[in-house]
Amino acid sequence: MDVLRREAPGWSAPAVTLVAETTGDPFRVLISTILSLRTQDETTAAASRRLFARAADPAAMLTLSAVTIAKLIYPVGFYRTKARAIRDVCRALLERFGGAVPNDLDALLTLNGVGRKTANLVLTLGFRSQAICVDTHVHRITNRWGYVRTTAPNDTEQALRRILPAEYWIEINDLLVAFGQRLCRPISPHCSRCPIIAYCPRRGVEKHR
Contacts of 80 (CB under 8 A, 6+ apart): 66, 70
CATH class of the domain defined by 10-127 = mainly alpha
The pTM of this model reads 0.93
Domain ranges of the chain: 2-9+133-199, 10-127
What pLDDT, in 10s, does the model give residues 20-68? 999 999 999 999 999 999 999 999 999 999 999 999 999 999 999 999 9
Q: With bands split at pLDDT 50, 70 and 90, how would you rate the model's confidence at 166?
A: very high
Given this model, what pLDDT does residue 7 score?
95
Q: With bands split at pLDDT 50, 70 and 90, how would you rate the model's confidence at 85?
A: very high
* Fold match between domain 2-9+133-199 and domain 10-127: no
Contacts of 15 (CB under 8 A, 6+ apart): 32, 36, 41, 42, 44, 45, 48
Compute the distance between CA of residue 83 and CA of residue 209 in angstroms, rounded to an integer: 39
Which positions are annotated as active-site residues?
Answer: 117, 135
Instruction: State which CATH number among 3.90.700.10, 2.30.30.90, 3.40.109.10, 1.10.1670.10 fits the domain covering 2-9+133-199.
Output: 1.10.1670.10
